[in-house]
């Protein structure tokens, strides 16, 4: 028996977003390829975080506004079905290749990295070990690239719960403000401290600031804010919208 995927659960294809994703991928790939013309290509990861916040919030909003609630169990089940098979294959292959190709001296550390990647907390492990993502001379963990996925999954774990709490609070208040305004207010509670912490920690400990979810949450929140305010943005004059798009 196959599960029925309703319209609010089905991701909408957005050619503009997919194009932005492609640009972000190219930035990251060219940076890791060492091309001199793209020295700051790692910012592609920042773009990914904004896109992820936008897409997942849009998906959640469609369900909340069409059904009046968010089914957390179904939401998390979709994430597990989407990620777990590929994650298991990659980590199993990484473990096998580590045993075959790398010296035993590195096995314990990599085993810890794999376990952290499997539980989506590898970014915290890398931050605690003061790993410098931008240091080309250091041998990286074979699962270091899982750090950004870990940040996203932690956001996906907590953000829906916050939305459910905000929806409940909004209905109890029965005020005149719209649900989207309530969500934006809740989002600001997450985004503003995260941005402030990111600025502070980047100056004090840039390695930790690069990996931590607490310093990255504002980027996902920025995408979420765009999704929440999309209706107002659609009503902007074409000239204003074009200027905003051109400004990034």
pLDDT tens-digit profile of 90-137? 999 999 999 999 999 999 999 999 999 999 999 999 999 877 766 655
pLDDT for 20 equals 72
pLDDT for 247 equals 52
pLDDT for 4 equals 42
Between 18 and 210, name the one with better pLDDT.
210
pLDDT for 33 equals 60
Residues of the chain with pLDDT > 70, as a percent, come to 77
pLDDT for 78 equals 92
pLDDT for 65 equals 86
pLDDT for 13 equals 61
The HSE-up count of residue 128 (CA atoms within 13 Å, CB side) is 8
Please say if the pLDDT value at position 26 is more than 60.
Answer: yes
Q: What is the DSSP string of 109-145?
A: HHHHHHHHHHTT-HHHHHHHTT--TT-TTS---TTTT
Weakest mean pLDDT among 64-68, 114-118, 153-157, 191-195 = 64-68
Weakest mean pLDDT among 51-55, 105-109, 228-232 = 228-232
pLDDT for 241 equals 47
pLDDT for 2 equals 41
Within 8 A by CB and 6+ apart from 246, the residues are none
pLDDT tens-digit profile of 144-172? 989 999 999 999 999 999 999 998 888 88
**For the chain, which residues make up each domain, given as ranges?**
70-246
Based on its alpha-carbon atoms, the radius of gyration of the chain, rounded to whole angstroms, reads: 20
pLDDT band at 226 (very low <50, low <70, confident <90, very high): very high
CA 247 and chain centroid, separation: 22
pLDDT band at 235 (very low <50, low <70, confident <90, very high): low
CA 71 and chain centroid, separation: 20
SS3 121: coil
Average pLDDT, the chain: 83
For 81, other C-beta atoms within 10 Å of its C-beta total: 10
């Amino acid at each position: 028996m196959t599960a029925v995927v309703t319209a609010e659960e089905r991701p909408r294809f957005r050619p503009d977003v997919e194009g932005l994703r492609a640009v972000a991928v190219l930035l990251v790939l060219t940076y890791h390829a060492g091309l001199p013309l793209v020295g700051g290509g790692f910012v592609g990861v920042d773009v990914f975080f904004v896109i992820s916040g936008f897409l997942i919030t849009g998906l959640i909003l469609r369900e909340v506004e069409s059904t009046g609630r968010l089914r957390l169990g179904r939401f998390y089940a979709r994430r597990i079905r989407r990620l777990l098979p590929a994650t298991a294959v990659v980590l199993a292959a990484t473990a096998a290749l580590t045993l075959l190709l790398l010296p035993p001296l590195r096995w314990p550390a990599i085993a810890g990295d794999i376990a952290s990647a499997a539980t989506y907390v590898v970014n915290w492990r890398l931050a605690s070990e003061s790993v410098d993502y931008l240091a080309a001379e250091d041998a990286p963990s074979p699962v270091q690239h899982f750090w950004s996925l870990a940040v996203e999954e932690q956001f996906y774990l907590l953000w829906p719960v916050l939305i459910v709490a905000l929806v409940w609070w909004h209905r109890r208040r029965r005020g005149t403000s719209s649900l989207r305004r309530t969500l934006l207010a809740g989002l600001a509670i997450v985004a503003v401290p995260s941005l402030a912490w990111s600025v502070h920690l980047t100056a004090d400990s840039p390695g930790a600031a690069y990996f931590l979810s607490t310093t990255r949450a504002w980027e996902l929140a920025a995408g979420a804010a765009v999704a929440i305010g999309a209706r107002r943005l659609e009503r902007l004059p074409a000239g204003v919208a074009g200027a905003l798009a051109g400004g990034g």
